[in-house]
A and B are shown apart, each in its own frame.
Chain A
């Protein structure tokens, strides 16, 4: 199964992934608010986040994540589109957005423009049995 591996340390915040994604999904248009990947820029840290499944309920817990010694609200990195999170929703209709790997076979446009390899397409076998040591 294809997955997009994210290495936030390699991301430099150019947001070309957002642009490639929106052009793929919105006719003739560059529109990051409709992209299924978003890069959050925080001083020297950049966090690409890919839209995951929609959930009808919001979390009732607040999570704090430590990244490189700084505290962040984990909500920011959460991939879900949920009632309290305004991103990963169509801005006009509120319809949830979800990454579709740009079709079948997977050809994610975000990965194709990521020159610094912060985004890499990897194949992972499902339910792969644990390899035994020795």
Chain B
């Protein structure tokens, strides 16, 4: 078997049974791996209507065939589960070193099911699998957990070679935007996957392996690696130097230039005082950091020297800075970086955390939150309140308990659901959709709720409606493919140029017959399967929408002036192109074409 290592580890947390299963190669070819194969297994094995935090939910960590190979920027892994925040199927993606190490330990995938009677963690060392008590780890934050597990190693090499994923206090406390962290600062970030892990009493997974990953066509694969590296040096739009020097901070600058920087809970698209990428580099950067097999090194090892917010860690990335910063009316880099560090340590998604705090600020300023509910005034621009609220959310202290449910449930609690900037209860990320029609369509239709990583970023003209639906459909199918393969969205979707590289890497890796057409069809199959899961979970076409403000209230600045999202025009065309009926349900013909007839049958079975 090439690309895939051919084994799945299934862990029943209720009984403590760990079993090894053979990977079904036919299914692997059809759904690739990562979010594709993970969704297929989840679809087959759980009832989509279960409570996401019940033992019936499953938590699947899945690599792609490219993970653990030298595919450039192709070594990511995903977690697939039913989200407690959205009730949709979710697939959160992370880099670092954990995914490749799982393959070197001999597994494509780990499936967790049930619920452990008390806190435990799993170790996987070269096919040797063991569940250990995590009582001493419970209550600890992410860096402490990793340190503790490493201290149990017998030598410095063993300690160094062990790659760990874990939840912080937020996951333990079932915070609905808690994430799962790996390699201390990398996150399986969105949709509350940390809470699912917490609900299973699973604190961490440690892996170490000495096995290898075979590829089908060694010379072809190597040629593809070098072709990518050559393009990376020669094609400016790939943006190597900018990414190396400034990481995702270049996106902050782009959003400032386009007046698309979500500000004060998406009420505006710009704020004064945002530091430029060179200023950020000067103020906080310590070291450019790579993920496995990624020469771009866009990760930001950073340090804050400001005594008020002192600390050391990684980031903030564009999303973290914007959502905890400008979207809360704050530009102070030290405060925002500190808040981002706390999110990493406690294990919380910075996007949903920032957006929920912004929502709280708007609710408070508009008088919807009574004074008796808040320990201090919560106003836009108050950096101290923002940092404090992040901590309160992780521990569910005071009003933090309500914020930990996400902005939709918070706003609904105070009778103002329209103040929540969410799609399918999933907070919108740090690219203002009113500045980009295609982006808005992708947010509204995304299978996990509003998300920037589930569609390609190349959308043609910003305000053009015609042709947008087709670009979004293609972008979503392509993104589903790269999530399944193990490739990095940030690199592979930033320019049109890289899809040929992805398909060549995938084919030379697996030899499974992935031409460009087959690969894109595979992406479409995965996207439709996720849609089927959501429909069965009761998420329908009525949920393919955007917050009322985005659809009705024009922005007032720059090119975006007067613009609202023309969703009513784009959505019917999008459904038609997808082969879905008017209510957004895939037609039997479309499902047959994609080889999903059997899966579709479950939709009509009640």
Contact = CB atoms under 8 A, between A and B. Distances in A.
Contact of B70 (A12, A30, A85): A30
Contact of B213 (A31, A41, A44): A31
Contact of A23 (B70, B104, B160): B70
Contact of A30 (B155, B157, B215, B229): B215
Contacts of B35: none
Contact of B160 (A14, A19, A28, A41): A41
A30 B301 contact: no
Interface in B142-160: 155-157, 160
A40 B294 CA distance: 16
B158 to A, nearest CB: 8
A43 B70 contact: no
A19 B69 CA distance: 7
Interface stretch (B259-267, B284-292, B580-588): B284-292
A22 to B, nearest CB: 7
Contacts of A34: 212
A31 B209 CA distance: 10
Interface string A53-76: 000000000000000000001011
A104 B454 CA distance: 47
Interface residues of A, number: 36
Interface in B268-311: 286-295, 297, 301
Contacts of B286: 44
B160 A12 contact: no
B435 interface: no
A45 B290 CA distance: 12
Nearest to A40: B160
A13 interface: yes
Contacts of B233: 115
A120 B69 CA distance: 23
28 contacts: A12-B288, A12-B289, A13-B289, A14-B290, A14-B291, A15-B292, A16-B70, A16-B72, A16-B295, A19-B69, A27-B218, A28-B216, A29-B214, A30-B68, A30-B215, A33-B104, A33-B212, A41-B97, A42-B160, A43-B301, A44-B286, A75-B156, A76-B157, A112-B226, A113-B226, A113-B229, A116-B244, A116-B295
Given A27-B218, A33-B210, 13 more contacts: A12-B288, A19-B69, A28-B214, A29-B214, A30-B213, A33-B211, A33-B212, A34-B212, A45-B287, A86-B157, A112-B226, A113-B229, A116-B295
Interface of B: 2, 68-70, 72, 97, 104, 155-157, 160, 209-216, 218, 221-222, 225-226, 229, 232-233, 240, 244, 286-295, 297, 301
